[in-house]
Amino acid sequence: MITLIVLIIASIILLITFIIIIITAFIKKTKRLFILSVLSFLLLFCTGIYTIYFGLKKGKEKTIQIAQKVFPPFDSDKPDTEANKKNFKAFLKLDLTPDVKNIYCFDDALGQDADYMFAFSCNSITAKKIIERNELVADSQLGNYSEGLQNDFFWWDKSKIENLPSYSWQSNFEAKKNVYKVFWYDEKNQKAYYFEYDM
pLDDT tens-place string over residues 43-69: 888 888 988 888 888 777 777 666 555
Are 104 and 89 in contact by the 8 Å Cβ rule? The answer is no
Q: Give the model confidence (pLDDT) of 162-198 as tens digits.
A: 889 999 988 776 555 678 899 999 999 999 999 998 8
Please give the single-letter amino acid code of residue 98: P
The three-state DSSP-derived secondary structure of 130-142 is HHHHCCCEECCCC
Nearest-angstrom CA–CA distance, 143 and 146: 9
> How far from the centroid of its chain's Cα atoms is residue 128's Cα?
29
pTM of the model: 0.64
Reported in sequence order, the residue ranges of 57-178 that DSSP labels E, i.e. its strands, are: 101-108, 115-121, 137-138, 166-170
- Report the length, in residues, of the chain: 199
Q: Hey, where are the domains in the chain?
A: 2-70, 82-198
Nearest to 67 by CA among 109, 26, 101: 109
